[in-house]
C-alpha cells in the first residue's frame, strides 16, 4: 500500500469514528477502545517475515498519537471555528 493510500484509509476511519460519536452510535470511550485495540493489534504482531515489523510499530505509534492528541481529520467546527467537542466535553471527539 502506498503512503497516500494509507493516509486515505486513516482519514476515512477517523471520519467514521467521528461520525459515529457525533450521532451517538458509539461514545467517546468506545471510539478510544477501538483505537486502542487497533494499536494493540499492530504492537502484538510477531514473526513478520516480510520485513514489515517496523511498519506495524509505526502504525501503532500513529494510532497511539491519535488517542493522546485527538483526531487529525477535523480540528475545527465549520460553523463556529472552535474545537470539535467530544461527548465527554473534551475537544476533538477522540
Domain residue ranges in the chain: 3-69
16 — phi, psi (to 5°)?
A: -65, -45
pLDDT tens for each residue of 26-41: 999 999 999 999 999 9
pLDDT tens for each residue of 13-28: 989 999 999 999 999 9
Provide the greatest CA pair distance for the chain.
Answer: 49
Q: Answer positive or negative: Cα dihedral of 55, 61, 64, 66.
A: negative
Cα dihedral 1/31/26/88 (nearest 10): -150
The answer on pLDDT for 79 being more than 70 is no
So what's the pLDDT on residue 71?
A: 64
The answer to whether the pTM exceeds 0.75 is no
From the number of C-beta atoms within 10 Å of its C-beta (0-12, 13-18, 19+), residue 79 rates as exposed
- The owner of cell 506495524 is 56
So what's the pLDDT on residue 46?
A: 72
Amino acid at each position: 500500500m502506498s503512503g497516500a493510500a494509507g493516509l486515505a484509509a486513516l482519514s476515512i476511519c477517523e471520519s467514521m469514528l467521528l461520525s459515529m460519536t457525533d450521532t451517538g452510535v458509539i461514545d467517546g470511550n468506545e471510539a478510544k477502545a477501538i483505537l486502542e485495540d487497533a494499536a494493540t493489534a499492530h504492537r502484538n504482531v510477531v514473526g513478520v517475515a516480510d520485513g514489515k515489523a517496523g511498519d506495524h510499530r509505526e502504525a501503532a505509534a500513529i494510532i497511539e498519537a491519535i488517542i493522546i492528541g485527538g483526531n487529525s481529520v477535523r480540528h475545527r467546527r465549520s460553523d463556529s471555528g472552535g474545537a470539535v467537542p467530544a461527548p465527554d466535553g473534551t475537544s476533538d471527539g477522540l
